[in-house]
Homo-oligomer: A and B are copies of this chain.
Amino acid sequence: MFIEDVNKMKVGIMGGTGNIGEGLARRICLGGKYDVVIGSRETSKAEVAADGVVCCLKENKCTLTTCSGATNADVCDCDIIIMSLPFDKLESTIETIGKSKFENKIVVSLINPMIRNPKEKYFLPDCPTEGSAALALKKLLPESAKICTGFNNVAAGKWMQLEEELDYSVVVCGDDADAKKRVMDLVSSVSKLQPLNGGPLAVSGIIESITPLVITLAMNNGLKDVGVYFR
């Protein structure tokens, strides 16, 4: 156990006070393999969210990992940084922090920009000119940053329902083999998620488009929180 603690990697979640971010923090901590830092523009908000995660860990008698709150800038000290932000907040957030903070970092994008047509019961991807949110993020960060997709298609409502296992596939795309391997390890530490190597970041647009599809499928088939499984 001592050795495990020393080697434990830190995962930072930027925009970690949203529903997905906080649920993701709980799920990763409960997996017992990574410490988590929740980031927000305001430290106090991040600390409240982190306190919620710590309570949840105590309730589940999970003593292997910790969770703390920090500014989005401080999240950049983590080994893996998950960007759980709306697409339109990405550029300003990175500008505020300073892009040099992302040098050599593994950065995970779970961002899926979409056009909502709830009245007509369908959602479509709102694809940036770069081809995907992940490819747009790559353009905003230093060349040494290793961008991967991850956790894109898990229904938002599922993250916080801790009594339910997440028995879905998570496709990880990226151009750096080592970073991709580390993100796939992170994915496999969470519930029953099945990590799959999705090839280079060029594939990320397809992954992002599956999220509006699963929402459309839920709306048109009387289902709730639809997820995807590849087999």
Q: Of A29-37, A52-60, A101-109, A221-229, which binds chain B? A: A221-229
Q: Please report the C-alpha to C-alpha distance between residue A197 and residue B221 in the assembled complex, in whole angstroms.
A: 6
Q: Please tell me if the beta carbons of A206 and B210 are within 8 angstroms of each other in the complex.
A: yes
> Given A198-B213, A206-B213, A213-B203, A230 and B226 touching (CB < 8 A)?
yes
Q: Smallest distance from the beta carbon of A231 to chain B beta carbons, Å?
A: 6
Q: Is the CB of A171 closer than 8 A to any CB of chain B? A: yes
Given A206-B125, A206-B210, A210-B210, also A199-B216 (CB < 8 A): yes
Most chain B beta carbons < 10 A, residue from A203, A214, A226:
A203
Q: Are A202 and B171 in contact (CB under 8 A)?
A: no
* List of B residues within 8 angstroms of A217 by Cβ: 171, 196-198, 230
Stretch at the interface among A38-46, A66-74, A79-87, A116-124: A116-124
Name the interface residues of A111-147: CB closer than 8 Å to any CB of B.
Answer: 120-122, 124-125
Interface centre among A122, A125, A206 (most CB of B within 10 A): A206
The answer to whether B230 and A122 have CB atoms under 8 Å apart is: no
| Copies of this chain | 2
A150 at the binding interface (Cβ < 8 Å): no
Contact status B229-A231, CB under 8 Å: yes
Chain B residues, Cβ within 8 Å of A120: 199-200
When C-beta atoms are compared, the residue in chain B nearest to A212 turns out to be B206
Q: A63 on the interface (CB 8 Å rule)?
A: no
Query: Cβ of B230 and Cβ of A227 under 8 Å apart?
Result: yes
Q: Cβ of A205: which chain B residues have Cβ within 8 Å of it?
A: 209
- CB pair B203–A124 under 8 Å, yes or no, is yes
Binding site for B on A (CB under 8 A): 120-122, 124-125, 171, 196-200, 202-203, 205-207, 209-210, 212-214, 216-217, 219-221, 226-231
12 A-B pairs with C-beta separation under 8 A: A121-B199, A122-B199, A124-B206, A125-B206, A171-B213, A196-B220, A196-B221, A198-B216, A205-B209, A207-B213, A228-B230, A229-B230
